[in-house]
């Protein structure tokens, strides 16, 4: 009996000392009066470089057929540190330094893929992939079709594409239109860290040759990554665009770094009452034109943005698809393209800046399209 009475007294004491459900309300009201606001825990920030490193690490661990090869990818941890720590973890047979011979190591990668492995071939820049384009197009892209599907070629060609900063014309070309032109290839172009991780994992698991066009200028940029994206099984489906920002007045379509410019332009235009729908294309081939069509049917206006040259570019293809398809009937004005200048990239910074699409160029194009 004495023990039971002691237990009851203990419970009563705990009940008196326990905070009431509204005990925090005065504190919250005080914080609000003082202009303070309680916030949720900070989201996980991951750079594009670290997202790509995660993807490579997880796929090397998951499938022993996967290996990485390219210039300086092993002992030096990669020219851009994408493969940091992987050589020490997986050794010489899984992370392989190659000579400076793109034709040679791209050919090795294609042959290894035909033999049943899943190579990831890194070009130090896609400008140097011109040395290996015979292997990429004639050996990799066409083999599955010419063999009636009996020889898959699961190889990934990846590396920085398009303009960097102050590297001149021979290192600044965007190859999205070049590789997107060729049947037999899949071509992806990520913007955010989730794009980079999810698309690289999807590319490695795909049985077709995949060209992954990254941006050197995005490697150090941090993006929020969801808890789902932290999973080892997270993939972004190839061939599916993403609506980064819903809107009602005009559709902005871009890939890679210009997606960020579109988001900035949309924020500027929003202050003037113009709501832009921003579509992150993510995949160049196969192109998700259905998402673009649905957006154009809603907004009735289209602006495409890319860092490549205007003639025969990605934007030109999007405009042609819209004109030929059912979404053309929804357009209230001609589609407008914002592209890089039709010149080899200048070296001088001020000329380089003026050769690439800037936020002001997108704002101008939107206002021109909307006639405001």
What residues are annotated to the active site?
102, 171
CB 305 within 8 A of CB 340: no
> Strands 336-338 and 302-305, how do they pair?
parallel
370 burial class (0-12, 13-18, 19+ CB within 10 angstroms)? middle
Cα distance between residue 57 and residue 100, in whole Å = 24
- Distance (Å, whole) CA 55 – CA 9: 58
And the tokens for 204? Answer: 């490695």
- Residue 303 per-residue DSSP state: E
- Contact call for residues 59 and 47 (beta carbons, < 8 A): no
Phi-psi sector, 148: left (phi>0), alpha (psi -120 to 50), beta = left
Per this entry, what is the length of the chain?
Answer: 372
Q: How many CB atoms lie under 10 A from the CB of residue 295? A: 25
């Amino acid at each position: 009996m004495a023990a039971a009475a002691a237990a009851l007294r203990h419970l009563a004491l705990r009940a008196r000392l326990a905070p009431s459900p509204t005990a925090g309300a005065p504190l919250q009201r005080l914080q609000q009066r003082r202009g303070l606001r309680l916030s949720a825990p900070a989201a996980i920030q991951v750079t594009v470089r670290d997202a790509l490193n995660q993807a490579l690490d997880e796929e090397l661990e998951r499938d022993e057929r996967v290996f990485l090869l390219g210039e300086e990818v092993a002992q030096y941890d990669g020219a851009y540190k994408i493969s940091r720590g992987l050589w020490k973890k997986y050794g010489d047979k899984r992370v392989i330094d190659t000579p400076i011979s793109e034709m040679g190591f791209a050919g090795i990668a294609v042959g290894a893929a035909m033999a049943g492995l899943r190579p990831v071939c890194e070009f130090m820049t896609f400008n140097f992939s011109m040395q290996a384009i015979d292997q990429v197009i004639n050996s990799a892209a066409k083999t599955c079709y010419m063999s009636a599907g009996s020889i898959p070629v699961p190889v990934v060609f990846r590396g920085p594409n398009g303009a960097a900063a102050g590297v001149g014309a021979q290192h600044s070309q965007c190859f999205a239109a070049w590789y997107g032109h060729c049947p037999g290839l899949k071509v992806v172009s990520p913007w955010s860290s989730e794009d980079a991780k999810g698309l690289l994992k999807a590319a490695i698991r795909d049985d077709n040759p995949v060209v992954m066009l990254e941006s050197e200028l995005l490697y150090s940029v941090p993006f929020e990554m969801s808890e789902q994206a932290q999973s080892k099984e997270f993939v972004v489906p190839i061939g599916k665009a993403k609506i980064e920002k819903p809107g009602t007045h005009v559709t902005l379509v871009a890939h890679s770094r210009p997606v960020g410019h579109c988001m900035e332009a949309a924020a500027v235009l929003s202050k003037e009452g113009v709501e832009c729908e921003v579509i992150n294309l993510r995949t160049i081939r196969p192109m998700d034109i259905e998402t673009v069509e649905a957006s154009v049917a809603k907004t009735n206006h289209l602006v495409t943005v890319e860092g490549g040259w205007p003639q025969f570019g990605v934007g030109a293809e999007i405009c042609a698809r819209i004109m030929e398809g059912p979404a053309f009937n929804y357009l209230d004005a001609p589609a407008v393209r914002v592209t890089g200048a039709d010149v080899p990239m200048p070296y001088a910074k001020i000329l380089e800046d003026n050769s690439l699409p800037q936020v002001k160029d997108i704002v101008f194009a939107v206002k021109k399209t909307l006639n405001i």
